[in-house]
Amino acid sequence: VYFLYFHILASLISHRIRGSPNSIKALILTDGLIETVDSAVLCGLSNMSVLVLSNNVIFTIMDNAFQNLTVLRTLLMDHNRITSQSLDRSTFSWLSKLEILQLGNNALRVIDGSWFQNSKALKALFLEGNLLTSLNSTSFGSSDLRNLETLGLSDNLITYVGQDSFHNLPRLRSLDLSRNRLQNAPNAFSYLSWLSLLNLDLNRWNCTCELRELASFLNSYIQSPRDQISEAIQYKNPLNSNIDLQGEGQAREQRNVTFALSGPMNNALIVPSKTPDRPSRINS
C-alpha cells in the first residue's frame, strides 16, 4: 500500500503527481494554494481510495475531475472556497463507491440533490460550517442517498427546515443541526425511522405554540423501542482514524437528543430513551 503526503505551497501540482505509482491508495494534498481540481492531475491514480484536499483555496472543480477515481471511498475537501456554483450533477457522478464526503467549512449557500444522483454508497456527508440558510424538498430530493447514515449540518445559518427536507434519506441515523438559527421546526424528522442521534443544540428556539409539532416528535422519539435503533454507525473525524477511514458499527442502547431552548448558551436537554421518566434540565 502506497501513501503520499504533499505539503503544497503552489497551485501547480500536476508534475509532482503524474509520476506517482498507480498502486497509491491514499493521497493527501493539504495546507496549500490549490485552486483548481481537474482530471489531468489525478489521471494516473485509478486505484486510490482516499483523497484529502483540505485546507487549500479550491473554488473550481472541473466536471471530469474525478472520472478516473472509480474506487475512491473517502474524499475530504473541507476548509476551501467551494461554492454551490463549483458543483454540478457530474462532479461526484464518477464516484459510485464513495462512502465519506467532507465539504465542511466552504462557501456553499444551497444544497442541490442532483450532486448526489450516483451516491448510493455514501454513508457520511459533512456540510458543517458553510453558508446554508434553509433546507427544503429540493435539497436532497433528486439524490440517491439511500444508504446515508450520518449528516453534519452544524455551524451554518439555517433558519428553516422544510417538512420534506430529509424524505429521501431513509437510513439516516445521525443528524447534526446544532449551532444554526432555527427558531422552530415543522414535522421534518418523524419519517426518519432509523434516527438514533439528533443534535439540535445551540439554536434560537422560540418557545411558542409553533414548537408543538417538534415537541410531539421528541416525545415519541425518545420512547421508541430499542430494537429499532440497534447497530447504529457513528463516524468520527476521518483524519483521526485509520488510513481506510472506515466507521465502526456499534450497538446503541438509547436514542439521544441534544436540544437547547432560548439563548445561544442556555440550558440543554439531553434525553435518553431507555427510561420513561420525563427529561430533566441540565444547567450549563
21 vs 173: which has the higher pLDDT: 173
Select from 58, 72, 51 the least CA-distant residue to 5.
51
What is the predicted pLDDT for the residue at 230? 34
The one-letter amino acid at 48: M
261 vs 224: which has the higher pLDDT: 224
Average the pLDDT over 85-90 and give the result: 95
Residue 2 pLDDT > 70? no
pLDDT digits (tens, 9 = 90+) for 45-67: 889 999 999 999 999 999 899 99
Average the pLDDT over 7-22 and give the result: 52
51 vs 241: which has the higher pLDDT: 51
pLDDT digits (tens, 9 = 90+) for 101-152: 999 999 999 999 999 999 999 999 999 999 999 999 999 989 999 999 999 9
Distances (CA, A) of 276 to 62, 215, 220, 222: 53, 16, 11, 8
Q: For the chain, what are the domain ranges?
A: 2-207
Average the pLDDT over 11-35 and give the result: 72
What percentage of the chain has pLDDT greater than the value 90? 47
Find where cell 467549512 sits.
Answer: 105
> What is the Cα gyration radius of the chain?
20
pLDDT digits (tens, 9 = 90+) for 225-235: 544 433 332 33
Distances (CA, A) of 204 to 120, 129, 186, 229: 34, 17, 15, 29
Contact 218, 259 (CB under 8 A): yes
Q: Which three cell numbers stand for residue 69?
A: 477515481
What is the predicted pLDDT for the residue at 269? 36
Question: What pLDDT band is residue 186 in, cutting at 50, 70 and 90?
Answer: confident
Q: Which three-class secondary structure string do you get for the chain?
A: CEEEEEECCCCCCHHHHCCCCCCEEEEEEECCCCCEECHHHHCCCCCCCEEECCCCCCCEECCCCCCCCCCCCEEECCCCCCEHHHCCCCCCCCCCCCCEEECCCCECCCCCHHHHCCCCCCCEEECCCCCCCEECHHHHCCCCCCCCCEEECCCCCCCEECCCCCCCCCCCCEEECCCCCCCCCCCCCCCCCCCCEEEECCCCCCCCHHHHHHHHHHHHHCCCCHHHCCCCEECCCHHHCCCCCCCEECCCCCCEEEEECCCCCCCEEEEECCCCCCCCCECC
262 vs 7: which has the higher pLDDT: 7
Instruction: Give the burial class of 177: count Cβ atoms within 10 A of its Cβ; 0-12 exposed, 13-18 middle, 19 or more buried.
Output: buried
Residue 248 pLDDT > 90? no
- 2-207 topology per CATH: 3.80.10
- Give residue 220's Cα distance to chain centre: 26
Question: What pLDDT band is residue 40 in, cutting at 50, 70 and 90?
Answer: confident
C-alpha 87/C-alpha 91 separation (Å) is: 6
C-alpha 110/C-alpha 95 separation (Å) is: 21
What is the predicted pLDDT for the residue at 235? 32
Residue 170 pLDDT > 60? yes
